[in-house]
Amino acid sequence: QDVENAISAATEAFHATDDDTDDTASWSHHSQTSNRASILLSIANELRQNTTRLADLEVQQIGRPCKEMRFQLSRLPEWFEYYASLLRVHEESVKPFGPGYLNVTKRVALGVVVQITPFNHPLLITVKKLAPALAAGNTVVIKPSELAPASVIEFAKLCTKAGLPPGVLNVLLGGKEVGECLISDTRIVKVDFTGGPSAGKEIGRQAGANLCYVTQELGGKAPMIVMPPPGGTQLYTAEKLNEYLDPIVNGCAFGAFIASGQTCIAGTRAIVHESIYEIFKEKMVLKVKCFRMGHPECTDTTIGPVITSKQLSFMDTCVKDGLSSDLESLELLCGGKRYTAFQDEKEELNHGNWYEPTVIAVKQKSALTQEIHHNNILFQTELFGPILLLVPFSTTKEAITLANDTPYGLGCSIWTHDLVEAHSMADAVQSGIVWINDHHKNHPSSPWGGLKKESGVGRENGLDAYYEYTQTKSIVVNCNKFDSDWFKDADARYN
């Protein structure tokens, strides 16, 4: 009944009166474009005023450190501001139909759309999906993760306060069964999902049976390619080499361990040139040992727990199996087990799902390096935790081969001072998002999605997302008097 109520409310809001002279014209009507932009800006303002409260709620739900969540949520208003601006300046197009005709195309809303969001970035991913959907004039039913629904519910209340009409946004709680009921309803026209590939495939099958549009952001196993300093290490003193490598180590540590590695674009594989491989290993271990594990609500905590004990067990099993399958070739540099060393007033945290930040390395470059990478579970499976794999390479071609050697193709970062080389490598890497000398950076205007099927289909962010929440209506006008009689005139032309 809850599913029926939510979809009915969204359907009614979408198909409200189409009287463009009436203040109650439907949310999707072209006369409401300016109104939609104004409401999006109001939502941005409500988000900005409630950042700390919402961030603290997310900390309580998923255990990510408050430092992370307060910064992440402080940027969410940008998505609504971007799409409000897009509505103000977006122009329709006129096509070169031919002499005597005017062909105008318009982007129109799809209808009632379902958005299914994950636990790891409850509000960020909700906002990335919702802002373009609302801008385009759709009505939305959101099913947040059953592990992290609270902040999404509070955000929906803020949207109502900002002036979003009744029925335009609906939040529905529940698990897999609720999702299946939503997707199978014939009134739904699009499903937007973020999660794992196995669930994505099932959702795609169900959506296909219902002839729904689908956007999915799925798995990742992002490589971080670390190139040697220009000219080679032989030209560098120890001090100069530190100046080159230290920022890269900091960047790769951020790429790998932010959110305790629980993000689809986490830099899980550092592919490092053999000339700097040993010193990179040393520096990364020293960096990881500086991380501060503690209560997520403490501002000095930098590593929080993983989401569930089930996930903790999965990661730990993969680490043990991966190491045992290649004992001669892999080495555990740090971590590799559950963290239970909290003491005194923090001792109760030992009951939580903390996993030691883990670094595992291929011992040295050999003829078997690519084979190990291709066959070992650690390099091929999305672990979704604070685990970083290191592997050396000799040539740029080999680095690209290793980077592309997974079923995934979502994110990648390239670390080098040679920007010509970086652009060439970016073209060769099979990833939908490539950062050069950075990782994780996101912007509402920048397309976000994978190049390989296991990483999803479609795009979030930017014009791409707006277009994926609309369809094109083509209006063809004959600018002359219609004077043809096809059935009488032997010379009449059909087209």
Which residues are known catalytic residues? 217, 264
Distances (CA, A) of 301 to 51, 60, 65: 19, 14, 6
- Residue 140's CB: how many other CB atoms inside 10 A? 28
Residue whose pair of structure tokens reads 């740029």 in the numeric block = 396
Q: By CB neighbour count within 10 A (0-12 exposed, 13-18 middle, 19+ buried), where does 209 fall?
A: exposed
- Supply φ then ψ for residue 389, to 5 degrees: -105, 140
Distance CA 114, CA 191 (A): 5
Q: How many CB atoms lie within 10 A of CB 187?
A: 16
CA dihedral 304, 307, 313, 316 (to 10 degrees): -40
User: Tokens standing for 235?
Assistant: 């030209």
